[in-house]
Structure 1
Amino acid sequence: MRIDVVSIFPDYLAPLGLSLTGKARDKGLLDVAVHDLRQWTTDRHHTVDDTPYGGGAGMVMKPEPWGQALEAVARGATIVFTTPSGEPFTQQVAEELSGHQHLVFACGRYEGIDQRVIEHAATLGTVREISLGDYVLNGGEVAALAITEAVVRLLPGFMGNAESLVEESHADGLLEYPVYTKPASWQGRDVPDVLLSGDHRRIATWRREQAERRTAERRPDLLPTTGVGRGLDGFDVRPAVPADAGELYTLQRACWLQELQANPGVVIPALDESLDDVRRGLGEWTVRVVREPSSGRLVGAVRGRLDTHVDPAGEWDIGRVMVAPDLQGRGLGRALLELVQDLAPPDVATYVLFTGAGSLDNQRMYKKAGFRMRPDRQAPPGAVVLTKRAGQRISR
């Protein structure tokens, strides 16, 4: 890949010669050139800006030097104008740009570059106007550095360990999970036990859950917001976060009071839990919540986790399939059941759940979804166990 950067402050781009980017240049993976825009000026003061037509504060970069600069270095290239008014820069944009052979960064200053330069650039190559974020910098050099590093590190042979590209933030649309190193205990803070277990499948599941939880808490905009294709169209479906605990607690009590009526005298764990118990459960299970977009009301939830007590290979334990009482009977429970099955690790062979022995409506729903009664399996008092072979799909 070749990268040309045009700036009135070429020294600002010195970091391009450092770290892995510099090593990529040494390996011949990357050819980088930084150009001083002033070399294309014609007056003795090397003027690159002038006052804006129509008045207003600040100065605008002149078209003449920019036109000559781009004609000299940008023919046939993808020309990136770093500007707050451009499209947001994302990992997906970085991946796209990493497939281009020649990138040229036009680093504006002051109030920006004369619009005619951008129009002229479109006759020389492909124009991309890209914003690093919703804030304003003094110039485009910082953005050019950031975009260059994000793009170049995706080039084949750039990273020493290519797997690190797969597991980092945004690689799969999620933020990266928390990471730890030695010592196992530091200032009274311990590394999570699962990371010390040596069980790579449990570790992978934990990391995925942590990535989803972190993304839901910090960047919910990165998550899918609807249950399209699962019978949840029109609802917001997201990983649960600690702030959901109160509403989950309320929904749980409403749903299991109904279960108590169907199973009189049976001790129902969901009704014995405290709010703190619900909060702890969010850290132990993969939980999805469903909200009405218009009101924000939490109307459904479901959870699952890997269980190795019965089968060393692991079963996907499904629980707390909950739908608000006024929305029951509309297929939301079945949709949540399908959703939680798809959250299971890919090598899980069995889904397992239990319900009240007297909860005949629940049992009918589970049987229609492909679950079968397992009288050979030990169940909590007053309950029955049902299982299903993973990957089995039942038509509606």
Structure 2
Amino acid sequence: MNGRIDIVTIFPGYLAPLDLSLVGKARSEGVLDVGVHDLRDWTADRHRTVDDTPFGGGAGMVMRPDVWGTALDDVLLTEADSRTLVLPTPAGERFTQAMAEELALLVCAGGQIAFACGRYEGIDARVAEHYANRDDVTVREVSIGDYVLNGGEVAALVITEAVARLLPGVIGNPQSLVEESHGSAGLLEYPVYTKPPTWRDLDVPEVLRSGDHGRIGTWRRARAVERTARRRPDLLARHAPPRVREAKAIDAEAIADVAARTFPLACPPHLNDADAGAFVAEQLDAAAFRRYLRSRDRDVLVAEVAGAVVGYAMLVRARPTAPDVLSAVSAETTAELSKCYVLPEHHRTQVAAELMAGTLEQARQRGVRAVWLGVNQSNERAQRFYRKHGFTRVGTRQFTVGNSVESDYVMERTLEP
């Protein structure tokens, strides 16, 4: 037999939304079999009583186990390949997309999900205990969030829709399930846009109107990672550890996007936006990074999270020539850590540390004995980061950004062979 979903409640009308939208269409076309049952049909008195006062005293009423037991014995199908009894409760395990996928597979395999929608102070605890002790029923107490509702019907609707839309034939375009929030990649979905291209002085991003599907895919992945890092960093920590690798020519535009966002953050407060912007346009655009990637004396590494570039570092393998730097560093210094930037939403994660570790390892493999860098004297956060990774201050230098001459500290680290 095909799998099915059954919902037992004292308010069958509450489940009317199951006749609407894609779930309703799936039911009418026989793709999804859902039964809604009135618990009061299994009562034995003329008042159709489903509850009574709690043992031990206390406010509210508790739903009776004898009524629930009679109902569930009838609703749980002996011919189903498997039976899962779901009890919605704020005390249950957290409902997730992974659980929705698990329950959908159960239904696809001919199993049954039965919801027992409690009300008042809940269902007598012996109901869950009894069915959990049966070998032919799996009991799951499930919460849809850290809050309390008047009953389990809303949770049953939520879980049913989340499960139903994963069943074959319910969603018209299966690709929609791949790219949405909380999918297999563990990311929140990227922002979406439609016509008109300009609305209330807000434009659709140019890349989405370019027709370049490669750029569009890269942009969407980057925005999904950015949104997840800002709103749900726990998802990235759980599903997407950072990865450091050598950059490729195809990464030039993504690196330039990171550079455009990060370079101004490292500049001193007094530096005007025009000078910072001019420096980015001249030294850190996609064309510049393509040149850097072709250079034999430069190594560019990127930090990726879930396939999106979120940081980069550049190692220039050459003895410094500027007199103020040359006089400060040791004779062994043969490379400059020219760039090391990570997007701000990934600060306070392992991304920057992994990027630094990967860059220093690259330097070792290239035979570099010592590395120097320049960091603006007002950027205390960056200085702390570099000290943490073994760099010490050895001098100062002048660095020009646009029309502004800035003072940097020169820091150096010797590498173990």
Matches of 2:83 and 2:305, distance apart in 1 = 47
The partner residue of 2:316 within 338, 355, 372 is 355
Matches of 1:356 and 1:273, distance apart in 2 = 31
Q: Give the letter for the 1:152 counterpart.
A: A
The partner residue of 1:92 within 87, 94, 98 is 98
The partner residue of 1:29 within 24, 28, 31 is 31
Per the alignment, do residues 370 and 140 of structure 1 end up closer, same or farther by CA in structure 2, a change over 3 Å counting? farther
- Name the residue aligned to 1:267: none
Task: Tell whether 2:119 aligns with 1:106.
Answer: no
1:99 partner SS: helix
Task: Tell whether 2:130 aligns with 1:120.
Answer: yes
Task: Tell whether 2:120 aligns with 1:146.
Answer: no
2:45 partner SS: coil
Per the alignment, do residues 11 and 178 of structure 1 end up closer, same or farther by CA in structure 2, a change over 3 Å counting? same
Q: Give the letter for the 1:209 counterpart.
A: A
| 8 Å Cα contact 1:109-1:139 kept in structure 2 | yes
Matches of 1:166 and 1:315, distance apart in 2 = 33
| 8 Å Cα contact 2:242-2:303 kept in structure 1 | no
Q: Give the letter for the 2:92 counterpart.
A: G
Per the alignment, do residues 142 and 229 of structure 1 end up closer, same or farther by CA in structure 2, a change over 3 Å counting? closer
The partner residue of 1:159 within 159, 167, 171 is 171
Q: Give the letter for the 1:200 counterpart.
A: H
- Name the residue aligned to 1:221: 234
Structure 2 gaps, min length 5: 245-260, 321-332, 338-358, 369-398, 400-416
The partner residue of 1:65 within 49, 61, 67 is 67
After superposition, the C-alpha distances for 1:220-253 in whole angstroms (9 at most, x for unaligned) are 222216997979xxxxxxxxxxxxxx99988x5x
- Name the residue aligned to 1:184: 197
| 8 Å Cα contact 1:249-1:275 kept in structure 2 | no
Structure 1 gaps, min length 5: 232-245, 253-269, 285-304, 322-333, 346-350, 373-381, 383-395
After superposition, the C-alpha distances for 1:352-395 in whole angstroms (9 at most, x for unaligned) are 945374262557933445799xxxxxxxxx9xxxxxxxxxxxxx
Q: Give the letter for the 1:111 counterpart.
A: E
Deviation at 1:46, TM superposition (A): 0.8
What TM-score, normalized by structure 1, do the two folds share? 0.65
Deviation at 1:155, TM superposition (A): 0.5
| 8 Å Cα contact 1:316-1:352 kept in structure 2 | no
Q: Give the letter for the 1:104 counterpart.
A: A
Could you say which structure has the greater relative contact order, defined with CA pairs below 8 angstroms and 6 or more residues apart? 2
| 8 Å Cα contact 1:306-1:316 kept in structure 2 | no
- Name the residue aligned to 1:43: 45
Q: Give the letter for the 2:316 counterpart.
A: T
Q: Give the letter for the 2:120 counterpart.
A: Y
The total of aligned residue pairs comes to 297
After superposition, the C-alpha distances for 1:265-305 in whole angstroms (9 at most, x for unaligned) are xxxxx67995979x99xxx9xxxxxxxxxxxxxxxxxxxx9
- Name the residue aligned to 2:392: none
| 8 Å Cα contact 2:89-2:143 kept in structure 1 | yes
- Name the residue aligned to 2:89: 83
Deviation at 1:316, TM superposition (A): 11
Runs of 4 or more above 6 Å deviation: 225-231, 246-250, 270-273, 308-312, 314-317
| 8 Å Cα contact 1:315-1:352 kept in structure 2 | no
| 8 Å Cα contact 1:316-1:344 kept in structure 2 | no
Matches of 2:307 and 2:186, distance apart in 1 = 16
Deviation at 1:93, TM superposition (A): 0.7
Q: Which moved more, 1:115-124 or 1:141-150?
A: 115-124
Per the alignment, do residues 247 and 306 of structure 1 end up closer, same or farther by CA in structure 2, a change over 3 Å counting? closer
Matches of 2:29 and 2:217, distance apart in 1 = 34
Per the alignment, do residues 36 and 272 of structure 1 end up closer, same or farther by CA in structure 2, a change over 3 Å counting? closer
Deviation at 1:26, TM superposition (A): 2.2
| 8 Å Cα contact 2:103-2:163 kept in structure 1 | yes
Q: Give the letter for the 1:18 counterpart.
A: L
- Name the residue aligned to 1:17: 19
Per the alignment, do residues 201 and 56 of structure 1 end up closer, same or farther by CA in structure 2, a change over 3 Å counting? same
After superposition, the C-alpha distances for 1:82-102 in whole angstroms (9 at most, x for unaligned) are 000001111111011101121
Matches of 2:85 and 2:294, distance apart in 1 = 50
Task: Tell whether 2:206 aligns with 1:196.
Answer: no
- Name the residue aligned to 2:55: 53
| 8 Å Cα contact 1:173-1:222 kept in structure 2 | yes
Q: Give the letter for the 1:199 counterpart.
A: D
Matches of 1:224 and 1:10, distance apart in 2 = 41
The partner residue of 1:7 within 2, 6, 9 is 9
Matches of 1:147 and 1:56, distance apart in 2 = 31
| 8 Å Cα contact 2:222-2:308 kept in structure 1 | no
1:86 partner SS: strand
Query: What is the Cα-based RMSD across aligned positions, in Å?
Result: 4.1
- Name the residue aligned to 2:182: 170
Q: Give the letter for the 1:10 counterpart.
A: P
Matches of 1:102 and 1:316, distance apart in 2 = 59
Per the alignment, do residues 338 and 78 of structure 1 end up closer, same or farther by CA in structure 2, a change over 3 Å counting? same
1:198 partner SS: coil
